[in-house]
Structure 1
Amino acid sequence: MAQRRPHIVIAVVNLPAERDRRVIRECQALESAGYRVSVICPRGPQRPATLPGTVATRIHSFPQPLAGSGVLSFAAEFAWALIAVTVRLLALLLRDRVDAVQVCNPPDVFWPLALLLRAAGRPFVFDHHDLSPELYECKTDRPRRTVLWILRLFEKLSWRCASAVISTNESYRELAVDRGGCAPERVVVVRNGPTLAEVRHDGIPAPRAAGEKERFTVVYLGVINPQDHVEAVVLTAERLVHLRGRDDWRVVVAGDGDSLPRLRELADEHDLTDLVTFTGWLEADEVGALLRTATIAVQPDPPTRMAQLSTMAKTVEYVARGLPVVAVDMLETRRTAGGAAHYVPTGDPDELAKAIDQLLADSETRTDMQRVARARFETELAWDHQVKAYLALWRRLLPDAPSATTAESPAEEPVATDRLTTT
């Protein structure tokens, strides 16, 4: 008689699972290791029944009628997320045995489910994606003490109530131990990043139009919200005009967000529309094709506490393609990019423009940085390395899973997803 495969349910509520590359990779890894997987998530426009890139991971989606823009609306959104996930999880528990649950934040409201699952003898894993208190401080001019206290309490409960915690970098792990009081052995680091196969499958760059001159390409890839400081990239282009003229370079801003309309206006106001291109969100293959044409990438995030402690997904994407990076000097950025980046103190446009101009003029330094970037990705940052810690955690929590010959290797096909999310 065939051995029953343990069933793991993953819940993610900040975006549809088919757009979350980390969740897709986790599901691929669990399937390859012999587990059965279901995902609970908000309903996307295409409403797939099976998670793209996986063999048989089923999606159990829910509508997301609420969109937060203030404290009360965010509270309503988080309450709805808890209710929607709980209802779908209970339905799965009643009709299809669930052996363990993994929940990805934000928000940090699922600790009551952790208590219920653990009381029933089933593991509950907290996959810690964002620092909710620090994120609130970044997005709010005047943070309310009461809101911060609640966010910190819920964060601590999320850490403490879980059977195990997955942190996306060492800083998050240190916070789980120091601020959350978690035993160090309960917290494992699993970084974000593409697989080696995904990078090998990058799309082919579009050919230049007839007569179009080849130019250096400076790229920003990611979310474009106020806290991301992307206006500095546009103003950097203005400074570059004064440093090196307009003939041999261009800036591409790839992504979307609340600040994008204002950035388009800013480029027009400073007479930069011929030098700064806005692509909007790109499909995964388009991201690969763009980064293959790039000369330098930019990470302009200001040195807030949130940014100091967080690993920016865009930085890993840059390093994976061997791109030299100009970045604000922050702890986790250095831990990610190392010698593949040139660091500036604050992200001021004058600092960024000077650093970019120097790198564009120094092909030997760029080549050395490219070599460092590729080596860091291939030997440390690629998901192929991170997945080992992820699967080791699940083997400890659910030791009865049937063995699989592909357990150590993620899927060789590139991740299928509608859009690249980078924060």
Structure 2
Amino acid sequence: MRVLILVENLPVPFDRRVWQEACALRDGGHEVTVICPQMRGYTQAEEVLEGIQIYRHWISGEAGSLGGFITEYASALWGEFGCAVKAWRRGGFDVIHLCNPPDLLFLVALPFKLLGGVKVIFDVHDLWPEMFEAKFGRRGLLYWAVRLAERCTLALADVVIATNRSVLGAVKQRGRLRDDQAYVVRTAPSRMNTAASPDETLRAGRKHLVGYVGVMGNADGVDYLVHAAEHIVKTRGRSDVQFLLMGSGPEHADLLALRDRLGLTDFISMPGRVSDEFLCRALRTIDLGVACDPINAYNDHCTMNKVLEYMAFGRPMVMFGTVEGRYSAGESAVYVMENSAEKLGDAILALLDDDARREKLGAAGHERLTRELNWERSVEQLLAAYQAA
């Protein structure tokens, strides 16, 4: 089949899930094209990478406000539709694969389904209504517009895939989907160099290194980790812990300012977006990883990539006890069951001071990822979803 994948919030190959899906479909004998935004250093408008055609479009920027979201999504839809028309003229496609958020991509798919008979697969990365409420803390007219967009996308889709059973259960109920229309395709790292050499210079001369990798937006809770570091250094009086926070996003500049305002510049390194090589060295070096996404209705449904990446490298974790976070990490993490920076900091210190427990948790996470949550199982489900479509 000829497959067109649309993703709005990250470019490929930076978006690991989408790129792994594209490569799996290519390996399964399909012809794959991806449309994504020009951002995060990926600005080439067209390229063929590993046998996959990529079109990238201009986008207004990563939004941090309601007005910013409207501008971002409007520019994205315009760019996606233009690229989709280009792909259609150059060879066409049989399936259009929509990766949310947002749930507005059905507007791009609609004419191709109605006029060209193209099948639609809806790849639910996040529950967009819950994400909207978590970002803005309220329900209003726009919230219900978001709910309507979700229902329209579900109605248009021939098959739905989701990152976990929690998300799948929600969309099955909302879209009144049959079992043969819905599949779980979990995200799991498959191409990371887990044998990379550690880089002890990242410790900045301190005994312990605590790591974070991921997006830095207003729903990701990185401010909790910065305040947890303040608690560790200033309240608990510990000068032997270095923090390495890797990633970028709309809150990165504000988090840098918060770090400096709290007098933690020497204790928290924030290099922004890092290369895969740097990331793998860092994950081999850290003593533990942190998932500080706060407990709420949105994060309870999310499988965080960072959790699975820590597990791939056999690193123990401290995390807020979101529902899907606890399911993914299993016995490999210490869970903080309320959104408290102080309790997060105390849990980090307790695990740093217990070498045997860190080793046990890290081994449990690696075992769980290898045996139960590996990407090969997800590929089977992905290909089954395409067969159903």
Length-normalised TM-score, structure 1? 0.84
**Which residue pairs with 1:289 in the alignment?**
281
- The answer to whether 1:328 aligns with 2:320 is yes
**Which residue pairs with 1:318 in the alignment?**
310
**Which residue pairs with 2:136 in the alignment?**
140
- The answer to whether 1:206 aligns with 2:191 is no
Provide the rounded CA distance (Å) in 1 between the counterparts of 2:374 and 2:368: 8
- The answer to whether 1:59 aligns with 2:74 is no
Mark the runs of 5 or more structure 2 residues left unpaired by the alignment: none
Deviates more, 1:68-77 or 1:132-141: 68-77
Describe the shift of the 1:178–1:310 C-alpha distance in structure 2 as closer, same or farther (beyond 3 A).
Answer: same
Structure 2 counterparts to residues 5-404 of structure 1, below 5 A:
6-44=1-39, 45-47=42-44, 49-50=46-47, 52=49, 54=50, 56-65=51-60, 68-119=63-114, 120-141=116-137, 143-195=138-190, 197-200=191-194, 203-208=196-201, 213=205, 215-241=207-233, 245-397=237-389
Deviates more, 1:273-282 or 1:113-122: 113-122
Provide the rounded CA distance (Å) in 2 between the counterparts of 1:240 and 1:72: 37
Paired letter, 2:121: V
Deviation above 6 Å: which 4+ runs of structure 1?
none
Assess if the C-alpha contact under 8 Å between 2:58 and 2:76 holds in 1: no
Describe the shift of the 1:153–1:298 C-alpha distance in structure 2 as closer, same or farther (beyond 3 A).
Answer: same
Describe the shift of the 1:16–1:212 C-alpha distance in structure 2 as closer, same or farther (beyond 3 A).
Answer: closer
Assess if the C-alpha contact under 8 Å between 2:11 and 2:36 holds in 1: yes
Provide the rounded CA distance (Å) in 1 between the counterparts of 2:128 and 2:105: 13
Assess if the C-alpha contact under 8 Å between 1:326 and 1:352 holds in 2: yes
Describe the shift of the 1:107–1:371 C-alpha distance in structure 2 as closer, same or farther (beyond 3 A).
Answer: same
Q: Quick one: higher RCO (CA 8 Å, sep 6+), 1 or 2?
A: 1
Aligned residue for 1:50, secondary structure, equals strand
Assess if the C-alpha contact under 8 Å between 1:298 and 1:325 holds in 2: yes
User: Which deviations, in whole Å up to 9, do the C-alpha atoms of 1:247-299 show, x marking residues without a partner?
Assistant: 43211111223333333333334333222222211111211111110111111
- Shift in Å, 1:80: 3.5
Provide the rounded CA distance (Å) in 2 between the counterparts of 1:373 and 1:108: 33
Describe the shift of the 1:269–1:73 C-alpha distance in structure 2 as closer, same or farther (beyond 3 A).
Answer: closer
Assess if the C-alpha contact under 8 Å between 1:125 and 1:165 holds in 2: yes
- Shift in Å, 1:352: 1.2
- Shift in Å, 1:76: 4.2
Length-normalised TM-score, structure 2? 0.91
Describe the shift of the 1:213–1:165 C-alpha distance in structure 2 as closer, same or farther (beyond 3 A).
Answer: same
- Shift in Å, 1:34: 0.9
Provide the rounded CA distance (Å) in 2 between the counterparts of 1:113 and 1:278: 37
Mark the runs of 5 or more structure 1 residues left unpaired by the alignment: 1-5, 398-423
Provide the rounded CA distance (Å) in 1 between the counterparts of 2:192 and 2:214: 18
Provide the rounded CA distance (Å) in 1 between the counterparts of 2:229 and 2:102: 36
Describe the shift of the 1:92–1:315 C-alpha distance in structure 2 as closer, same or farther (beyond 3 A).
Answer: same
Describe the shift of the 1:206–1:364 C-alpha distance in structure 2 as closer, same or farther (beyond 3 A).
Answer: closer
Paired letter, 1:239: H
Aligned residue for 2:256, secondary structure, equals helix
Describe the shift of the 1:43–1:354 C-alpha distance in structure 2 as closer, same or farther (beyond 3 A).
Answer: closer
Aligned residue for 2:197, secondary structure, equals coil
Identity of aligned residues (%): 31
Provide the rounded CA distance (Å) in 1 between the counterparts of 2:72 and 2:350: 46
Provide the rounded CA distance (Å) in 2 between the counterparts of 1:144 and 1:345: 25
Paired letter, 1:198: M
Describe the shift of the 1:212–1:161 C-alpha distance in structure 2 as closer, same or farther (beyond 3 A).
Answer: closer
Provide the rounded CA distance (Å) in 1 between the counterparts of 2:262 and 2:5: 46
Assess if the C-alpha contact under 8 Å between 2:43 and 2:56 holds in 1: no
**Which residue pairs with 1:410 in the alignment?**
none
Provide the rounded CA distance (Å) in 1 between the counterparts of 2:92 and 2:257: 54
Deviates more, 1:217-226 or 1:369-378: 217-226
- Shift in Å, 1:73: 4.7
Paired letter, 1:205: P
Assess if the C-alpha contact under 8 Å between 1:128 and 1:165 holds in 2: yes
> How many residue pairs end up in the alignment?
386
Bigger Rg, which one: 1
Aligned residue for 1:220, secondary structure, equals strand
- Shift in Å, 1:194: 0.8
Paired letter, 1:35: H
